[in-house]
Amino acid sequence: MHKKILKCRKKKMAIFSIVLVLLVALVCLFPYYTLTGAATYSWGSRGSTVREIQTRLKRWGYYYGTVDGIYGYRTYSSVKWFQSKNGLPADGVAGNRTLAALGINTTAGTTSTYAARNQNEILLSRLINGEARGEPYTGQVAVGAVVLNRIRDPRFPNSVAGVIYQPGAFTAIVDGQIHAEILSSSVNAARDALNGWDPSGGALYYFNPAKSTSQWIWSRPLIKIIGKHRFCR
């Protein structure tokens, strides 16, 4: 009888220890999730953010379904396609990195003009960083200016994210360099471009002649050469 009581007590202590460990882990991890503000949208999610995901993917040619705010198979497949094309883990789940790549910020109070400009600045900085890291500063600003020049041209999407994530538009998207560690010069170049400086002379295209094999891009009228890039109309 005494052995049974001891065995029962040991079992209860073991259970209590497991529960205590889980509670401690929960307490420790909760602040982490709160601080990171992890936002995840996946199969079965619904709402305005899902609708925005669908809208942007549809605008850029990744999504062909109805914009209904329901995260179903088509949305999952489109997100996965977008991720695979833009150097992200292709799991079909719209987490923080994917939302950032889409230009969607789910933090409260980010609908202001300042927040929208800030998102554009971050995304443009990342593109400049991926495309023109190591180039002369004027060349980095010129790359940013090309994005903004395209926005004003009816042949291209009318937003920073739309231009940057247009399929096949920029090498940094294809090879994942847009996610490289960002340099301060890239941020400054994005700010200068957004503030109206255009060293490209109104260019809509640029390329590195040492790397480009496209006959079409070579046919574009040359405006100027800055560093390793030729800027064209």
Among 190, 206, 168, 159, smallest CA distance to 86 is for 168
**pLDDT one-digit tens code per residue, 116-143:** 457 888 899 999 999 999 999 999 999 9
Query: CA-CA distance, 205 to 139, in Å (whole number)?
Result: 13
Cβ(150)–Cβ(206) below 8 Å = no
Give the amino acid at 75.
T
7, 30, 114, 117, 144 from 194: Cα distances, Å: 72, 38, 13, 9, 8
Query: CA-CA distance, 201 to 177, in Å (whole number)?
Result: 26
**pLDDT one-digit tens code per residue, 181-211:** 889 999 999 999 998 999 999 999 999 999 8
Helix (H) or strand (E) holding 12: helix 2-36
**pLDDT one-digit tens code per residue, 48-101:** 899 999 998 988 889 999 999 999 999 999 999 988 887 788 999 999 888 888
Provide long-range contacts, Cβ within 8 A and 24+ apart, for 168-172: 170/127, 170/130, 170/131, 171/130, 171/131, 172/126, 172/127, 172/129, 172/130, 172/131
